Amino acid sequence: MSKSDKRIRPPGSKGDSEQGVPGSKDAPGSRNVPGSKIVPGSKSVGWALVQAARLHRSRVGDRLAALDLFAGQEQVVQALAASGTMTMGDLAATLRVRPPTASKTISRLAALGFVERRAEAGDGRIVRVRLTEMGLAKAEAIERIGEAVEAELLAGFDGKERRRLRKLLRKAARNLAAISGALGHEVEGDAEIDEDDDGIVSAL
């Protein structure tokens, strides 16, 4: 092979410089530039929503640990605080979980002394659940945690931005509820009235 033949190489053959080759580290516009931290999907609303929800849940979970509660258990305590007494079936429906899941959570809370169970008079198959005095105190503490974490979450937001964000999230939830066939379950707060950005009052 002559020297001139050695200088002619097929594109991509060994020995070629990678500079300018699409997909290489040094290619113009390449996403593999050293130091770049582009995450797939990071520009989507869904990605931002999941990240915010995950961080919010983690923050709440850290504070709940001080109350001897795990994330998720506070929802049961809050539901009972709002309703007073509930059957296991009603509680499962409110939390949108299967009855065995609700029953397991109640058993754990009962072992901690936060709730008590009583069979319905005349029908032992129906079990009613309510908070104990200790459970009511936990419910108040949970409410304070929720307020504190929400203040952290919305730091720097003015009143209009908070209302707007709440409205947009509810609208997004309704979109998914319609697609998944969950229209029977209204998004919490749907009946509230908020002021739009233009100052026009309308139902959310």
- Yes or no: say if 105 and 69 are a contact pair by the CB < 8 Å rule: no
- The position carrying tokens 């797939």 is 40
Element (H, E) at 42: none
For residue 38, the model assigns a pLDDT of 64
Q: What is the pLDDT of residues 173-199, one digit of tens each?
A: 999 888 877 654 454 544 443 444 444
- CA gap 137, 135 in Å, rounded: 5
| CB-CB contact of 77 with 139 (8 Å) | yes
Per-residue CA distances from 151 to 46, 67, 77, 94 (Å) = 22, 20, 21, 26
pLDDT at 26 (0 to 100): 46
pLDDT at residue number 40:
66
Digitized pLDDT (tens) for each residue of the chain, 204 residues in all: 555 454 445 444 444 444 444 444 444 444 455 555 666 667 899 999 999 999 999 999 999 999 999 988 999 999 999 999 999 999 999 988 898 999 999 999 999 999 999 987 777 778 899 999 999 999 999 999 999 999 999 999 999 999 999 999 999 999 988 887 765 445 454 444 344 444 433 333
| Vertex 129: Cα angle to 124 and 133 (nearest 5) | 135
Place of tokens 């919305």: 154
Q: What pLDDT score was predicted for residue 203?
A: 35
